[in-house]
Amino acid sequence: MTMDSNMTISDSTASRIASMREKQGNPNLMLRVTVLGGGCSGFKYQLDFDDKKTADDVTFRGVVVTDESSLPFLQDALIDYETSLMGSAFKIKNPNAASSCGCGKSFSTKM
């Protein structure tokens, strides 16, 4: 699918997913980012690994996939993989989020 969409995937995210592909022996493995209604702030992110795409999916850098319904909520977002002493995780830095909860997985929008 071709859309006028812009989501940035950091090099650390692409590297981590490449590592997961190698570890799992699955060259089609991608990080699926979905925005769902719910969560303590109105919307929540769901992150899963997936090796299948549907007709309404959009792929970024060949390693991150999202569906057409989630895409407007992720416009201009950065998907990053951060490592710290407390652990490692994929983080979403979303300029469309007006606020987010303490867990970082729930947000309200400016839309």
**Residue 69 belongs to some domain of the structure:** yes
Q: Report residues of the chain scoring pLDDT below 50.
A: 1-4
CA 64 to CA 50: how far, in whole Å?
Answer: 9
Residue 68 counted as domain residue: yes
For the stretch 51-70, pLDDT in tens is 999 999 999 999 999 999 99
* pTM assigned to the model: 0.83
Domain encompassing residue 61: 8-99
CATH number at residue 55: 2.60.300.12
What pLDDT does 39 receive?
62
Assess contact for 90 and 13: CB atoms under 8 A.
yes
- Count the domains in the chain: 1
Counting Cβ atoms within 10 Å, is residue 42 exposed (0-12), middle (13-18) or buried (19+)? middle
The H-or-E segment that residue 84 falls in is: strand 78-84
Work out the mean pLDDT of the chain and round it to a whole number.
86
111 belongs to a structural domain: no
- End-to-end, the C-alpha distance of the chain in Å comes to 24
Give a yes or no: residue 2 inside a domain: no
106 within a domain of the structure (yes/no): no
